[in-house]
Amino acid sequence: MRLIIRDDPVSASSYIANYIIERINNFNPTKEHPFVLGLPTGSSPVSVYKVLVERYKAGDVSFENVVTFNMDEYIGIPREHPQSYHTYMYDHFFSHVNVHPSNIHILNGNAIDPETECVQYEAAIKAAGGIDLFLGGIGPDGHIAFNEPGSSLLSRTRVKTLAYDTILANSRFFGNDLEKVPKMALTVGVQTILEAREVVIIITGAHKSMALKKCVEDGVNHMWTLSSLQLHPHPMIVVDEDATLELQVKTVKYFKSIEAVATSQGFEQILPSKVRTGPRPRAIAKKIGAGPEIQEPGILEPQPVTSTLLTAPANEYPVRSHTPELIPDRMGSRITAH
């Protein structure tokens, strides 16, 4: 795991925004091979979107070939409702950049059959070739998307009942009337997020420091769903100083030193080349086809010609040679005749 610590929320946000832009630009997305971006809502990501929009307007990045998937949406409030996540995304991001509406995926909280909606959402993610980078935020109780404490860490996109804390916290957006606050939401599951090739989380503010501690220093626990990130091969958490209040000094110093060393060596997040460029269209075509999946041994992608530190293995995990097949023989053949 990478933990990036910045002095204040603004610099934490611009770190993430710049990181995303760099990833998109290096990915060099095309119409056939788009960059698939997972997106959150909430208060912390607002400033990330702000920087993304500024940089877009400055011509530093294009979202023309970016496909987006949002994490969640309330059930039962109109799409145009000021508190809907459709509105949030439109106001903070989509209306300012060139993401084409047909490339945008947000769960439909008014679907007649929410369950089908969830199944189709997972299918749409698969059809897009999986998510290249999932950006996320968390709640003070460590929930990611609407995966409230106690959610299965193997969960997928589904209907979720909101925790009482969340309903209380949200009531300020609905005229302090608990009756008006949506009680249910559609959300991607923990497993959906973990399947993204890279996960980047922003956590800012003192009120989220306990959640950060639980997710980074303690074990994997469904009561702090973000802690599942420890099982992901390429997670990155970007925080401000306030969010580190509950962390041990040792932890903070360790992650700061990692960053210092990495920067001095000229690299930041180490990503395998496969993650950097996403699956090639060839691979997607194969998956869509009905034929059986063929396991290809050995190196799939060309290796980057950089230092060994930067070089990542072609596969995310070391490829071991197969255990030789067991060839049963007759017991009698082992007995030498006398």
Q: How many CB atoms lie within 10 A of CB 155?
A: 20
Cβ of residue 157: shortest distance to another protein, in angstroms? 19
Q: CA 338 to CA 216: how far, in whole Å?
A: 67
Size of the chain in residues: 338
Which residues from 54-83 bind another protein, rule CB under 8 A? 56-59, 62, 64, 79-80
Q: Within 13 A of 282's CA, how many CA atoms are on the CB side?
A: 5
Contact 255, 5 (CB under 8 A): yes
Reply yes or no on whether 143 is catalytic. Answer: yes
Options 86, 105, 143, 234, the catalytic residue:
143
Q: Is 267 in the site for another protein (CB under 8 A)?
A: no
Residue type, 288: I
Options 148, 198, 240, 242, the catalytic residue:
148
Which one of the spans 100-108, 211-219, 259-267, 330-338 is the region binding another protein (CB under 8 A)? 100-108
Helix axes 85-92, 45-57, angle to 10 degrees: 40
Reply yes or no on whether 96 is catalytic. Answer: no
Cβ of residue 102: shortest distance to another protein, in angstroms? 5
With CB under 8 A as the rule, give the number of residues binding another protein: 20
Which of 32, 101, 112, 331: binder of another protein (CB under 8 A)? 101
Which one of the spans 16-24, 99-107, 147-155, 213-221 is the region binding another protein (CB under 8 A)? 99-107
Reply yes or no on whether 60 is catalytic. Answer: no
Cβ of residue 200: shortest distance to another protein, in angstroms? 25
The residue behind tokens 């091969």 is 233
Question: What are the contacts of 113-117 at 24+ separation with CB within 8 A?
Answer: 114/75, 114/159, 114/186, 115/158, 115/159, 117/186
Contact 35, 66 (CB under 8 A): yes
> Any alpha helices (H) in the chain, and if so which ranges?
9-27, 45-57, 85-92, 114-127, 164-170, 190-194, 209-216, 249-264, 273-277, 281-288, 331-334
Q: Which residues pair with 221 in a beta bridge?
A: 224
Q: How many CB atoms lie within 10 A of CB 210?
A: 17
96 vs 232, which CB is nearer to another protein?
A: 96
Contact 79, 110 (CB under 8 A): yes
Q: Which of 213, 240, 236 is nearest to 224 (CA)?
A: 213
Which of 46, 90, 183, 310: binder of another protein (CB under 8 A)? 90
Contact 52, 17 (CB under 8 A): yes
Which of 5, 37, 104, 284: binder of another protein (CB under 8 A)? 104
98 vs 306, which CB is nearer to another protein?
A: 98
Cβ of residue 98: shortest distance to another protein, in angstroms? 5
Reply yes or no on whether 195 is catalytic. Answer: no
Which of 11, 18, 83, 87: binder of another protein (CB under 8 A)? 87
Cβ of residue 140: shortest distance to another protein, in angstroms? 29
80 vs 325, which CB is nearer to another protein?
A: 80
Which of 30, 98, 116, 161: binder of another protein (CB under 8 A)? 98
Site string for another protein, 30-59 (x = CB under 8 A): --------------------------xxxx
- What are the catalytic residues? 72, 141, 143, 148
- Report the interface residues with another protein, using CB under 8 A: 56-59, 62, 64, 79-80, 86-87, 90, 94-96, 98, 100-102, 104, 106
